[in-house]
Amino acid sequence: MSRHLIIGASGGIGSAIAEALDGEVVTLSRRQDGLDVTDEASIEHHLSRLDGTFDTIFVATGSLTAGGEPEKTVKALKPVTLAQQFAVNAMGPALVLKHCIPLLPRDRRAVFAALSARVGSIGDNQIGGWHSYRASKAALNQLIHGAAIELARTHKQAICVALHPGTVETPFTAKYAGHHKTVPATQAAQNLIAVMDGLTTDQTGQFFDYAGTPIPW
């Protein structure tokens, strides 16, 4: 039986993925378990209590606004917002990966995936704005890419990727969706699971959207 670990399982995408996966699903979240991805001691405490290895480790944590509104201009940048976005969106998943390495098998295929966002693509950025969110996701992408290179040396069949889910229908994202096509969390989960199922080891370290299409860095 396959085993899966979902970090951030109380959120819309995380909970939908947890429900859609076949096999044994272990979930962790701030709301239900007190896991704080901005606190390495909390990450280590929760992950060190898990036994065995997992075929999928999916990090669904993230923050869109850090309690405020996304910046429309660089003039709106605030140090506290930048720090908060980096802590949740980049540092958190990277530290989870650090402490998840012992939970990845060395003798079979496994996938570590973290939720990123297309707006984190430097090459795709044509309009500016949303600076702290964009920058934190770009940082996450770099951390995933670098970690994948190192992971491949010890876990030959491991795949480590960043994934863009599309714009998911939630009350929180409704005011920011604009003219973007939105999908229910259940559909986003199915899309992401299909992408993960189709990945091969030569795709490790890359950044994909919900259809499995590579996104430029």
DSSP-assigned states of every residue in 49-82: T--S--SEEEE----SSTTSPPPSSGGG--HHHH
Tokens representing residue 169 in the block: 């229908």
Tens of pLDDT, residues 159-215:
999 999 999 886 555 565 566 678 999 999 999 999 999 999 999 999 999 999 999
Specify the pLDDT at position 175: 61
Q: pTM of this prediction?
A: 0.94
Specify the pLDDT at position 199: 98
Tokens representing residue 92 in the block: 């958190």
Cβ(130)–Cβ(119) below 8 Å: yes
Specify the pLDDT at position 149: 98
* Enclosing H/E stretch for 113: strand 110-115
Torsion angles phi and psi, residue 86, rounded to 5: -65, -40
Average pLDDT taken over every residue of the chain: 94
**Location of structure tokens 């297309």:** 118
Cβ-based burial of 154 (10 A; exposed 0-12, middle 13-18, buried ≥19): exposed
pLDDT (mean) for 66-95: 92
Specify the pLDDT at position 178: 61
Tens of pLDDT, residues 32-77:
999 999 999 999 999 999 999 999 999 999 998 777 788 999 999 9
